[in-house]
Amino acid sequence: MSNHNIIDTLIQNISDDQQLLETADEKIEQAKEEKRAIINRIKDYQKDATAMMKYANDEQIQKLEALNLDLSESKQGLNSVATTAFDIMLSSKKKTMTNENLYKAYVDTLDDKEKAVSYTAFNIKCRPLFNNQRLLRKEGSDPKSSRTSIISVNGSSASVVKKETSEKK
């Protein structure tokens, strides 16, 4: 009869531990979800901080740098189309051109022109350059067409020169 009690106890212990394991797994999954949400918020803050660095004073910059975020203005995280477009803008003499000319210059960089993304896809892939304020966009001669928009490198003197174009509305 004592064998029967030992087996029953073993069965109960296994059953209890299986339930504990299930509960622990649920807690782990919940913690992973919370971690993912926090990581995503930190990534968003990092993007915001990168864009806002130019407006920060020295003390604020030191505090941001102390948080060990990657706040470099590098091309890290940009897709190949945006990287190419940014390189084209940086290498242009005036640091400014129309959106259509920027697209044409992008296509010209490709050995196989058939591999070029469409004009619409090009604009979508270049959005991070504007979101991060590496490039600025001003309305061109035709407000209904993005092709005439004036694109300039942020901080270049050319962006001031082209200001008159957007004031002729």
Residue 71 placed within a domain: no
Report field, pTM of the whole predicted structure over 0.85 = no
Based on the fold, state whether residues 19 and 57 are members of the same structural domain.
yes
Coil, strand, or helix at residue 102?
helix
Based on the fold, state whether residues 58 and 128 are members of the same structural domain.
no
CATH number of the domain that residue 154 is part of? 1.10.10.10
Residue range of the domain that includes 10: 2-66
Residue 74 placed within a domain: no
Span 100-109, pLDDT tens digits = 999 999 999 9
Span 46-91, pLDDT tens digits = 878 877 777 778 888 788 878 877 665 544 567 889 989 999 998 8
Based on the fold, state whether residues 26 and 102 are members of the same structural domain.
no
Residue 75 placed within a domain: no
Residue 73 placed within a domain: no
DSSP category for residue 78: -
In the chain, what are the helix, strand and coil shares in percent, each to the nearest 5? 65, 5, 25
Structure-token match 């290498």, residue found: 91
151 forms beta bridges with 97, 137
Determine the straight-line distance between the first and last CA of the chain, rounded to whole angstroms.
97
Based on the fold, state whether residues 52 and 90 are members of the same structural domain.
no
Based on the fold, state whether residues 88 and 116 are members of the same structural domain.
yes
